[in-house]
């Protein structure tokens, strides 16, 4: 059984192909710059060099066609034809209260996603476009949806309700939903393995830091609270999203600038965050480079971001009654030592001590690392997220009838001996050029010479 996973963003399509019976990842990659010109695919297959192919993709349909042709071509392909694909798993950001776990997609499901698009305007529309394109290209293959919101359905009412008129919840289902759920699920299970603990006896604060970012409080292995709310706008300072702010501010500006709700929504989602602070940059790499070069507003953006993450770590550690570990994941979380270091400063009183040398060394998406000091009572891990692996296992479970919510469903990656062979191979190559990474590796492969 070969499972294709698709994660369609506004201008990208991430993918991976997995052989479920052999428990082996076959290939993965991303099509970038979809719909904006200069499109290309970066493709990696087990045992082969990375390939890059330039091809214009004006829509997600062309991007998915490029993925499928790359997977089946004679040079880079890993399967003979599309008939080898058994099922497709799709990421969907917002499932509302209608979906508490992954589902098989039909027309009613797609229509429900459309109804929820206003809650995740940057994500649900491209998710739907990808689903429709893939179903058109592969009509005889079952397609499944994996929701970012499903993981957070265990939050208690005190965490997910807002102090707003109850009628708004009853009429419009206004509540905290939370996002990045597949990433948090994967990281919570992996952190328990690294700690050597039962996942349902583990307390964590997980920081998913990328262009979109959120923090998750995990109590006894379950989502207890999270920084994103009714939409992905709430919480941390992000690339272009404002995160937490006084809700009276938009009303004040709208009245004085004669703005309508749509215009203000666009500002809060697309023109705020790091872009709003710096006036120029939304990408963390650009902000860091500008700060190093003396740009005061870029430095302010970094300081504000670190302060906001630090506040959530402290608040969530208190909320769950103490934590076993802090976990960083996603693009900046995995590759941004400057952001991690800033966020962890001043937390020694909580037993959180970050090792500066380890933190600076930890820049890899191929291995789990530990960046805490030996004397730190609370561990600090950097865990490369693997949302596609969650997709694969949910799809396989749906196909064979064993799937259920994560409290009643065992994932292979929550087992101590779990390995990702593609990542192990890539990490070995990376260590050949940067051997100091071996010193921070948190979960070495058995039998590998160090």
* 198 catalytic residue (yes or no): no
CA nearest to 6, candidates 90, 121, 132: 90
Q: Considering 19, 73, 106, 148, which one is annotated as catalytic?
A: 148
First to last CA, the chain: 35
Cβ contact 223:151 at 8 Å: yes
From CA 114, how far away is CA 186, in angstroms rounded? Answer: 27
- For 10: left if phi > 0, alpha if psi spans -120 to 50, otherwise beta; the answer is alpha
From CA 251, how far away is CA 254, in angstroms rounded? Answer: 5
Cβ contact 323:380 at 8 Å: no
CB-count exposure of residue 353 (10 Å: 0-12, 13-18, 19+): middle
CB-count exposure of residue 308 (10 Å: 0-12, 13-18, 19+): buried
CA nearest to 234, candidates 246, 223, 242: 242
For 407, residues 6+ apart whose C-beta sits below 8 A from its C-beta are: 154, 200, 221, 222
From CA 22, how far away is CA 25, in angstroms rounded? Answer: 9
What is the helix (H) or strand (E) element at residue 208, kind and residue range?
A: strand 204-209
Strand 12-19 to strand 24-32: parallel, antiparallel, or no bridges (unpaired)?
antiparallel
**φ and ψ at residue 381, rounded to 5 degrees:** -115, 150
**Residues with active-site annotation:** 148
């Amino acid at each position: 059984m070969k499972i294709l996973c698709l994660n369609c963003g506004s201008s990208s399509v991430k993918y991976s192909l997995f052989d479920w019976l052999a428990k082996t990842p076959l290939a993965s990659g991303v099509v970038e710059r979809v719909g904006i010109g200069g499109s290309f695919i970066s493709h990696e297959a087990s045992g082969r060099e990375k390939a890059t192919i330039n091809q214009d993709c004006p829509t997600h349909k062309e991007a998915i066609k490029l993925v499928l042709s790359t997977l089946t071509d004679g040079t880079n392909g890993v399967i003979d034809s599309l008939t080898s694909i058994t099922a497709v798993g799709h990421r969907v950001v917002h499932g509302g209260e209608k979906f508490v776990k992954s589902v098989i997609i039909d027309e009613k499901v797609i229509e429900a996603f459309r109804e929820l698009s206003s809650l995740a305007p940057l994500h649900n529309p491209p998710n739907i476009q990808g689903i429709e394109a893939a179903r058109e290209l592969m009509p005889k293959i079952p397609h499944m949806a994996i929701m970012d919101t499903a993981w957070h359905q265990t939050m208690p009412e005190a965490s997910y309700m807002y102090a707003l008129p109850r009628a708004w919840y009853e009429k419009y289902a206004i509540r905290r939903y939370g996002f990045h759920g597949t990433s948090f699920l994967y990281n919570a299970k992996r952190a328990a393995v690294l700690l050597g603990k039962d996942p349902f006896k583990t307390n964590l604060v997980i920081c998913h830091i990328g262009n979109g970012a959120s923090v998750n409080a995990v109590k006894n292995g379950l989502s207890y609270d999270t920084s994103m709310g009714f939409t992905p706008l709430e919480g941390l300072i992000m690339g272009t999203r404002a995160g937490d702010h006084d809700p009276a501010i938009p009303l004040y500006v709208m009245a004085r600038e004669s703005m309508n709700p749509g215009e203000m929504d666009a500002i809060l989602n697309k023109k705020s965050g790091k872009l709003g602070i710096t006036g120029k940059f939304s990408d963390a790499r650009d902000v860091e480079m500008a700060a190093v070069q003396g740009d005061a507003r870029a430095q302010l953006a970094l300081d504000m971001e670190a302060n906001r993450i630090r506040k959530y770590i402290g608040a969530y550690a208190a909320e769950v009654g103490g934590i076993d570990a802090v976990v960083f994941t996603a693009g900046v979380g995995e590759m941004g030592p400057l952001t991690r270091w800033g966020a962890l400063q001043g937390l020694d009183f909580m037993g959180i001590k970050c090792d500066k040398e380890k933190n600076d060394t930890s820049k890899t998406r191929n291995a789990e690392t530990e960046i805490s000091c030996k004397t730190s009572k609370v561990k600090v891990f950097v865990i490369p997220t693997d949302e596609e692996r969650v997709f694969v296992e949910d799809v396989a479970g749906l196909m064979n009838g064993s799937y259920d919510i994560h409290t009643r469903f065992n994932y292979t990656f929550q087992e101590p001996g779990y390995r990702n062979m593609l990542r192990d191979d890539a990490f070995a190559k990376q260590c050949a050029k940067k051997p100091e990474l071996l010193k921070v590796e948190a979960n070495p492969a058995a039998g590998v010479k160090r």
